Structure 1
Amino acid sequence: LYHNRFVRWYVNLFMKLALTRPGKWFLSNFTARLDPIVYRLTGGRLNSTGVILFPVLALTTTGRKSGKKRTVQLAYVAFDDSAYLVASNFGKDHHPAWMHNIEADPRVSAQIRGDHYELTAEKLTDAEKAVVWDRLVAEVPNFDLYEQRSGRSLRVFRLPMPGIEETRVRTGSQPRPA
């Protein structure tokens, strides 16, 4: 997936950082708040760490209590004309707010680079999650570790997005096929 030696090193560094207590705090309290702003301002080309490590989208939900629009930046895995989101919350023992917002109102918007989508999120059943889990972990290995560390079953959501695989290639979210 990553052909540049520096980028591979950088990805490995952040994956290891995310597994430490200080790293989890930094990522969930600092970068998670700043990333959507930087992502929006740069048209999806950068985030607060400077390099986008995984394909990401900016997900906007409606707050279940406040009714206000809430935007978070999330890694996604694209296949079968869908973007899959994992409610990992960096391996914390509680679910992320965006997940509760989707469960209250599945209508969301997503931004991938400069492309905007209005979508309806679908929560996968345990059986559906079992079918796709290995593929999700193959692309974002920390998902498996987050599930183990959190002590909870991570919920998975699907955003139906016909052509998402082509969007990832066109926007540079992943290397072009050789």
Structure 2
Amino acid sequence: MRLSGERLVQKVSATRAFARIAPHVVPALDRAVHRLTRGKVLLSARMLPGVVLTATGARSGLPRRTPLACVPEKEGGWLLVGSNFGRPGHPAWTGNLLKNPEAEVSWRGRDIPVRARLLTGEERALAWRAALEFWPPYAAYQARVAREIRLFRLERR
């Protein structure tokens, strides 16, 4: 049953309607639940693994907390996909990481200092394949936008 439920979630998350609604609902719910559970629970992590990224704002210089789906890597780091739910612009958190790559993630209730690196070339191509294998709807998001979706690798500092 889980597999068919997972396929249904993937199908719904690849729709344009989801892309319009989710960016307003999912992060707000995740922030609230994450705060109430002292970093132990992310609702969206019921579908995909997730982190709460704390990065320094590119313009404001202030800490910005963003709940994000992630692809955990065997080496202990994470891939972050700047899909923005298949909407046209890059999500703000990607600009923050480009300017200030030193950040922190909350992962399973622990705060972990990380360094973000924008992936390019063959390294990006390999990571993109891994991301698509992990969550196929990323292909629908990329198909809807002209921009290349940014991929970051977060490594523990």
Task: Tell me if both proteins adopt one fold, taking TM over 0.5 as the criterion.
Answer: yes
Amino acid at match of 1:63: G
State whether residues 113 and 156 of structure 2, in contact with CA within 8 Å, keep that contact through their aligned partners in structure 1: no
**Would the alpha carbon gap of residues 158 and 11 (structure 1) be closer, same or farther in structure 2, given more than 3 Å must change?**
same
SS in 2 for 1:137: helix
**Would the alpha carbon gap of residues 80 and 152 (structure 1) be closer, same or farther in structure 2, given more than 3 Å must change?**
same
Q: How far apart are residue 117 of structure 1 and its match?
A: 0.5
- 1:79-94 to structure 2, matched below 5 A, reads 79-81=73-75, 82-94=77-89
**Would the alpha carbon gap of residues 10 and 78 (structure 1) be closer, same or farther in structure 2, given more than 3 Å must change?**
same
Q: How far apart are residue 132 of structure 1 and its match?
A: 2.1
Q: How far apart are residue 154 of structure 1 and its match?
A: 0.9
Relative to its length, the structure with more strand (as a share) is 2
- 1:1-178 to structure 2, matched below 5 A, reads 5=1, 7-42=2-37, 43-47=39-43, 52-81=46-75, 82-161=77-156
User: CA offsets per residue over residues 24-44 of structure 1, 9 Å max, x none?
Assistant: 122111112321221232233
Amino acid at match of 2:104: S
Amino acid at match of 2:52: A
Question: So what's the TM-score if we normalise by structure 1?
Answer: 0.78
After the TM superposition, list the runs of 4 or more consecutive aligned residues in structure 1 that deviate by more than 2 angstroms: 7-22, 39-46
2:72 and 2:105 map into 1 onto residues whose CA distance is 13
SS in 2 for 1:121: strand
* Residue segments in structure 1 that go unaligned for 5+ positions in a row: 163-178
Amino acid at match of 1:70: R
Q: How far apart are residue 92 of structure 1 and its match?
A: 0.7
Question: So what's the TM-score if we normalise by structure 2?
Answer: 0.88
**Would the alpha carbon gap of residues 10 and 73 (structure 1) be closer, same or farther in structure 2, given more than 3 Å must change?**
farther
Q: How far apart are residue 66 of structure 1 and its match?
A: 1.5
Identity over the aligned pairs, expressed in percent? 33
SS in 1 for 2:26: helix
* Residue segments in structure 2 that go unaligned for 5+ positions in a row: none
2:40 and 2:22 map into 1 onto residues whose CA distance is 18
User: CA offsets per residue over residues 88-145 of structure 1, 9 Å max, x none?
Assistant: 0001111000000001111111001211111111111122111222111111111121
Q: How far apart are residue 9 of structure 1 and its match?
A: 4.5
How many residues get paired? Answer: 155
1:46 and 1:159 map into 2 onto residues whose CA distance is 19
Report which stretch shifted further, 65-74 or 17-26: 17-26
